[in-house]
């Protein structure tokens, strides 16, 4: 795809067909297309993003009119299209590993924002808000790899969530977590035992309160 | 289940109770002197306890019993000596230098598989050489044996088949050959699909995987081959895993393992490059 000469032409043609007569792409627009081509973003993903940008614009401006005059105005939608198709794009060979961080931080923040929006209970909304703030703060301070950071912050947030529960409920959850380990606990070192109990406890809390994980490995384990 | 273990260890063993010896083919954990001279049990590993009915019984020493038992498990797990330094899943892995696929694999291995053992599926790590697949698998079983007391075994696919072939040719009963591999709680099969497997070898592998599947045992696999789906997505002309091992075995593995694809640059090549430039 990276050497496909039609890549630029296809995007140009598609954009102009939606934007209407009297519009030309600027050099900045071509630079954007080249950037996508270099990153080996599939053509279909870009076209989908453009399409969404126009649909949204038409919804806002009335059915047949659009305020989009250049590709840059579609970037937001193209980026979310890229995020959405990232499980597939991510496997392209030769991609720049350094791109991972930016994309993934965006994904994390985007997901958490959606969770915050859809959370009905205040305590759960606060849980996501707290986690989002922590991730943004830590990511800016240290620029670490975002997945490990998210996992760590998610665990801390679950711990805080647990501590805010009533004492009786905390005891019940802890007991359930210990029972999951059963007899195997006898052969575990103290540290491993503690880590496993916390892990099972977090899983119980997540299931009980339907707390969504930032990264669900079974849902998108290959992105 | 409340336990009040006494902290044991010393600076020589970094407060683990053992040191690792990598001087032979397989890594070996050796009990540290501080454990050998345990004050609680006098170095026997057991203490005489009494239950609520007044009956005496021999119990594991609360200070060193778990370590002694787990060191034995580590020593029979067959971890290759070159991985002697990998004693936990994330040993030597710097999150800042890992790409997303490796981080995801690490997260699954550590947070899900090890910490929530045995409630989660095993995993199958696929991808090119030098990305840390074996490292992750070894780290997983080292942590499971030494810290969780789980019986694990590491087998290189190629050697596994050679051993099985030899045992069969010597007339050993089938169960004697395959049973230890079925009974171990966690089995690592390293470099699955390596070499040209004939029908007999695939049949034996099929038996092993099926028996482990039926016994609900966890299996961890590393392979350089990728599944049809991944090959299609990355446009790779790589040989396909399902072709190497057959659809039947692959189908079982799909049920037993989380399939995790690793991508990135070969760290061995990178290391060599860095050494050359120094």
DSSP string, A117-150: HH--SHHHHHHHHHHHHHHHHHHHHH---HHHHH
pLDDT at A7 over 60: yes
Query: What are the structure tokens assigned to A103, written together?
Result: 């994309």
Q: Is the pTM of this model over 0.95?
A: no
CB of B100 closer than 8 Å to CB of A100: yes
CB of A92 closer than 8 Å to CB of B234: yes
Interface contact A189-B67, CB threshold 8 A: yes
Interface contact A188-B264, CB threshold 8 A: no
Q: At B133, which helix (H) or strand (E)?
A: helix B133-148
Give the residue with greater pLDDT, B258 vs A140: B258
Instruction: Compute the average pLDDT of residues A9-22.
Output: 82
Closest-CA residue of B relative to A189 is B147
The answer to which of A42-46, A176-180, B130-134 has the lowest mean pLDDT is A42-46
Largest CA distance in chain B: 71
Distance from CA of B5 to the nearest CA of A (A): 7
Q: At B60, which helix (H) or strand (E)?
A: strand B56-60
Interface contact A187-B99, CB threshold 8 A: no
pLDDT at A1 over 60: no
Q: Give the pLDDT confidence score for residue A214 in this predicted structure.
A: 80
Interface contact A188-B260, CB threshold 8 A: no
Distance from CA of A191 to the nearest CA of B (A): 8
| Whether residue A48 has a cis bond before it, omega within 30° of 0 | no
Best mutation target among B148, B226, B257, B260 (most A Cβ atoms within 10 Å) is B148
Q: Give the pLDDT confidence score for residue B1 in this predicted structure.
A: 46
Nearest to A97 among B115, B233, B264 (CB): B264
Interface contact B261-A222, CB threshold 8 A: yes
Q: At B48, which helix (H) or strand (E)?
A: strand B46-50
> How big is the CA angle at A95 (ends A94 and A98), to the nearest 5 degrees?
130
Q: Give the pLDDT confidence score for residue A49 in this predicted structure.
A: 85
Closest-CA residue of A relative to B121 is A218
- A136 burial (CB, 10 Å; 0-12 / 13-18 / 19+) is middle
Best mutation target among B87, B88, B90, B115 (most A Cβ atoms within 10 Å) is B115
pLDDT at A81 over 90: no
Alpha helices (H) in A25-121, listed in sequence order:
27-38, 43-61, 75-84, 86-89, 99-118
Q: Give the pLDDT confidence score for residue B275 in this predicted structure.
A: 64
Q: Give the pLDDT confidence score for residue B149 in this predicted structure.
A: 96
pLDDT band of residue B206 (cuts 50, 70, 90) is very high
Distance CA A117, CA A132 (A): 12
Please give the DSSP secondary-structure letter assigned to residue A110: H
Query: What are the structure tokens assigned to B239, written together?
Result: 């040989």
Distance CA B98, CA B132 (A): 10
Instruction: Compute the average pLDDT of residues B29-38.
Output: 90
Instruction: Compute the average pLDDT of residues A107-122.
Output: 88
Q: Give the pLDDT confidence score for residue B267 in this predicted structure.
A: 63
Q: Give the pLDDT confidence score for residue B270 in this predicted structure.
A: 62
Instruction: Compute the average pLDDT of residues B177-196.
Output: 92
Q: Which residues of A touch B (CB under 8 A)?
A: 88, 90-93, 97, 100, 104, 144-145, 147-149, 151, 178, 180-181, 184-193, 195-196, 199-200, 203, 215, 217-218, 221-223
**Contact residues on chain A for B112, CB-CB shorter than 8 A:** 217
What percentage of residues in chain B have a pLDDT greater than 90? 51
Closest-CA residue of A relative to B70 is A187
How many other C-beta atoms are found inside a 10 Å radius of the C-beta of residue A200? 21
Distance CA A3, CA A12 (A): 16
Interface contact B98-A178, CB threshold 8 A: no
Q: Is the ipTM of this complex over 0.85?
A: yes
pLDDT at A166 over 90: yes
Question: What string of DSSP letters covers B67-94?
Answer: HHHHHHHHHHTT-BGGGTT--STTTT--
Q: Give the pLDDT confidence score for residue A140 in this predicted structure.
A: 62
| Range of B104-108, B254-258, B267-271 with top mean pLDDT | B254-258
Instruction: Compute the average pLDDT of residues B62-71.
Output: 92
Q: Give the pLDDT confidence score for residue A157 in this predicted structure.
A: 93
Query: What are the structure tokens assigned to A70, written together?
Result: 């250049």
Q: At B21, which helix (H) or strand (E)?
A: strand B18-21
Q: Give the pLDDT confidence score for residue A55 in this predicted structure.
A: 82
Q: Give the pLDDT confidence score for residue A89 in this predicted structure.
A: 47
**Contact residues on chain A for B108, CB-CB shorter than 8 A:** 217, 221
């Amino acid at each position: 795809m990276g050497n496909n000469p039609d890549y630029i032409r296809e995007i140009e043609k598609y954009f102009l067909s939606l934007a209407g007569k009297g519009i030309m792409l600027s050099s900045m627009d071509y630079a954007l297309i080249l950037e996508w081509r270099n990153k080996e973003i599939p053509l279909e993903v870009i076209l989908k993003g453009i399409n969404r940008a126009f649909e949204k614009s038409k919804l806002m401006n009335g059915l047949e009119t659009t305020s989009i005059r250049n590709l840059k105005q579609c970037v937001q939608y193209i980026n979310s299209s890229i995020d959405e198709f990232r499980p597939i794009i991510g496997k392209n060979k030769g991609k720049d590993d350094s791109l991972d961080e930016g994309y993934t931080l965006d994904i994390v923040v985007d997901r958490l924002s959606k969770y915050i929006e859809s959370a009905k209970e205040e305590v759960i909304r606060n849980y996501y808000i707290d986690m989002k703030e922590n991730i943004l703060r830590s990511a800016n301070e240290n620029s670490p790899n975002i997945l490990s950071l998210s996992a760590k912050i998610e665990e801390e947030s679950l711990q805080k969530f647990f501590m805010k529960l009533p004492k009786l409920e905390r005891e019940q959850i802890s007991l359930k977590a210990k029972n999951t380990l059963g007899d195997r606990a006898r052969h575990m070192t103290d540290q491993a035992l503690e880590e496993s109990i916390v892990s099972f406890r977090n899983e119980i809390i997540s299931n009980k309160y339907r707390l969504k994980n930032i990264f669900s490995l079974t849902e998108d384990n290959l992105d | 289940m409340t336990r009040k273990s006494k902290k044991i260890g010393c600076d020589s063993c970094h407060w683990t109770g053992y040191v690792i010896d990598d001087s032979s083919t397989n890594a070996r954990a050796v009990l540290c002197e501080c454990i050998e001279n345990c004050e609680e049990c006098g170095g026997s590993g057991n203490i005489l306890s009494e239950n609520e009915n007044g009956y005496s019984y021999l119990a594991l020493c609360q200070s060193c019993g778990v370590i002694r038992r787990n060191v034995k498990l580590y020593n029979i797990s067959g971890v290759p000596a070159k991985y002697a330094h990998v004693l936990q899943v994330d040993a030597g892995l710097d999150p800042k230098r890992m790409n997303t696929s490796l981080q995801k694999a690490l997260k699954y291995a550590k947070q899900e598989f090890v910490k929530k053992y045995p409630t989660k599926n095993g995993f199958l790590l696929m991808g090119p050489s030098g990305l840390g697949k074996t490292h992750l698998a070894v780290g997983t079983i080292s942590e499971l044996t030494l810290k969780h007391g789980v019986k694990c075994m590491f087998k290189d696919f190629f050697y596994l088949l050679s051993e099985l072939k030899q045992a069969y040719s010597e007339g050993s009963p089938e169960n004697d050959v395959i049973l230890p591999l079925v009974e171990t709680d966690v089995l690592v099969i390293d470099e699955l699909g390596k070499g040209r497997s004939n029908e007999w070898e695939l049949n034996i592998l099929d038996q092993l995987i099926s028996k482990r599947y039926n016994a609900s045992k966890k299996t961890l696999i590393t392979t350089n081959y990728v599944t049809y789906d991944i090959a299609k997505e990355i446009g790779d002309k790589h040989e396909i895993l399902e072709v190497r091992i057959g659809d039947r075995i692959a189908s079982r593995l799909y049920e037993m393992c989380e399939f995790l694809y690793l991508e990135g640059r070969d760290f061995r090549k990178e290391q060599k490059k860095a050494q050359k430039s120094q």
